[in-house]
Amino acid sequence: MEQGTVLEMRGICKYFPGVRALEQVDFTLREGEIHALMGENGAGKSTLIKVLTGVYPKDGGVILLSGTDGPVHIKSPQDAQNAGIATVYQEITLCPNLTVAENMYIGRTKGPVTNWRKMISDAGRLLDELGIPAHPKQQLGNCSIAVQQMVAIARAVDMECKVLILDEPTSSLDEQEVQKLFKLMRDLKAKGVGIIFVTHFLEQVYEVCDRITVLRDGQLVGEYIIEDLPRVQLVSKMLGKDFDDMADIKSDSDTENIDYESTPVYEAMGLTGTTGIKPFDFEIHKGEVNGFTGLLGSGRSESVRAIFGADRVTRGVVRIDGKPVKIRKPLDAMKHGISYLPEDRKLDGIVGDLSVRDNIILALQVMKGFFKPFSRAQAEQFADEYIKLLNIKTASSDTPIKSLSGGNQQKVILARWLLANPVYLILDEPTRGIDVGTKVEIQKLVLKLASEGKSVTFISSEIDEMIRTCSRLIVMRDGKVVGELKGKDLNQNKIMATIAGGES
């Protein structure tokens, strides 16, 4: 091992039944650097992290750590902790029923007895130091998600680790919290900690990282110093092809074809529900693509859920094609031709153990009714049609959806809602957590649907995507609609300013 290296992984292999998740991957982390681990979904980033943290046993290769002679064997997360490898995962891996202090110290104190007083005072000091707004005695479950995430980081920071792994820690944080996190990361870097940073956000990589390692299809593409690798090249390395597809998509002049004077396809007035959004008015016209934007927690998802009746709607008048209707539950919305692709694919979208076919026909089947099941042949026909149409990569329509990759799962859910033949399609974060190639496909599909006369609401955390696809943007802040942008106003600066608020 070279001087200054904290971690070296050489020739790591990992196989799952029928899949090679990692093939001869090398990875080197130096003292005091922030090292981005990049790749599409299914490239092997998470697998590599899980091998390193002992969640999965490796099938080949060696792991070397500074300060230890010879290869280390990490068999469990406990081993990893002991070896000085701390991890913060995307999902919060803390116990909601324990106090903040306990969550920071459990599983790593010595001796059989818990010293509550010391633990609470230590935790209090650390929380203050890092500026985390939580009290050590507070039950973690009562804190906001962002605070919980930061408590997890505080725990990792306190472990005197040599290697800190941050696996998509920013996806549930707002911009300010992200900045706080970056400051924390830079502080740690100054102390000589090696940080592995996994993220989907390119901007963040270029903001804090020193080096990038790119994986593709379970294999190493290469390791680069950040200055040597412009964004476009990074994307092309991740995709493994020259990349100019992004430029192809443009909303162009489509917007002019929309007749804003016509009766809206969907119109809501004073709509509000139990999820903390203020009453809002909203309308969408035939062939229009609009978007809801705002920071996480601004109410953009809650608004579209209210439109679909996914959460309890308490007030508001809804008109479809000018006729007043009542939408109280998802089925009502579906019967009126509204489809909704939920934000959380795993939790709200897929039905894991069911086959791709059942997942595709589900919505249409429910609309058809409990007593009128589709024949097997018909279901198969629908499934095959959409598998071909959306180019879903699956062994057969009988395969359980959970064994597909994230992007393909998303396409199945899309297929489900396209099959329901909606007049108004709501897509909440359809591009989150999926590979760049599929992202582009989905954006193209949205524009195609609009040109066919369907109305689409498109939500994405990536403003670029919204600008490319939407003709009108509704901006939200703190559960309230604060602005509506279209035409010339649809640019990054204007959107940012509206989100941030104020008179700028």
Our finding on whether 429 is near other proteins (CB under 8 A) is no
The stretch among 64-72, 107-115, 195-203, 263-271 that binds other proteins (CB under 8 A) is 107-115
Among positions 116, 207, 250, 448, the unique one binding other proteins when judged by CB under 8 A: 116
Decide: is 191 part of the binding site for other proteins (CB under 8 A): no
- 338-357: contacts with other proteins (CB under 8 A): 340, 342, 347-354
58 half-sphere exposure, CB direction, 13 A CA radius: 26
Binding-site string for other proteins from residue 64 to residue 103, where x marks contact by CB under 8 A and - marks none: ------------xxx--x-----x-x--xxxxxxxx--xx
What letter does residue 287 receive in the DSSP assignment?
Answer: T
Q: In the bound complex, what is the minimum distance in angstroms from residue 44's beta carbon to other proteins?
A: 13
With respect to other proteins, which residue has the nearer C-beta, 330 or 433? 330
Minimum separation from the CB atom of position 107 to other proteins (A):
4
- CA geometry: angle at 414 spanning 412 and 417, to 5°? 115
Select the residue interacting with other proteins from 4, 68, 73, 109 (CB under 8 A).
Answer: 109
Pick one of 4, 67, 107, 324: the residue that binds other proteins (CB under 8 A): 107
Stretch binding other proteins (CB under 8 A), from 41-49, 110-118, 404-412, 482-490: 110-118
Site membership for other proteins, residue 137 (CB under 8 A)? yes
Q: Would you count residue 329 as binding other proteins (CB under 8 A)?
A: yes
| Cβ atoms of 127 and 136 closer than 8 Å | yes
Tell me the chain's radius of gyration from C-alpha atoms.
24
| Stretch 199-238: interaction string toward other proteins, x if CB under 8 A | ------------------x---------------------
Where residue 180 falls (left for φ over 0; alpha for ψ -120 to 50; beta otherwise) is alpha
* 409: contact with other proteins by CB under 8 A: no
**Hunting for tokens 């008015």 — which residue is that?**
281
Q: Which residue has the tokens 């130096």?
A: 30
Which amino acid makes up residue 223?
Answer: E
Q: Find the binding residues for other proteins in span 380-399 (CB under 8 A).
A: 395
Residues 361-380 that bind other proteins (CB under 8 A): 362-363, 365-367, 369-373
- Sheet-wide strand order for 219-225: 85-88, 163-167, 194-198, 34-38, 211-216, 219-225
- Residues with Cβ within 8 Å of residue 469, at least 6 apart in sequence: 249, 251, 289, 291, 443, 446, 447, 458
Closest approach, Cβ 348 to other proteins, in A, equals 5
Residues 156-185 interacting with other proteins (rule: CB under 8 A): 174, 176-177, 180
Nearest CB to other proteins, comparing residues 20 and 278: 20
Positions in 245-304 near other proteins (CB under 8 A): 274-276
Size of the site for other proteins (CB under 8 A): 77
DSSP line for 256-283: GG--TTSPPSEEEEEEEESSSPPPEEEE
Angle between helices 436-451 and 231-239 (to 10 degrees): 90
Nearer CB in complex with other proteins: 25/490: 25
| Residue 41: CB minimum distance to other proteins, A | 17
Torsion of CA 478, 480, 483, 485, to 10 degrees: 90
Q: DSSP code of 139?
A: B
Minimum CB distance to other proteins, residue 65 (Å): 17
Side-chain-side CA neighbours of residue 5 (13 Å)? 13
Nearer to other proteins, 85 or 258 (CB): 85
The Cα 160–Cα 180 span in angstroms is: 20
Residue 60 touches other proteins, criterion: CB under 8 A: no
DSSP string for 418-433: HHT--SEEEEESTTTT
CB closer to other proteins, 189 vs 216: 216
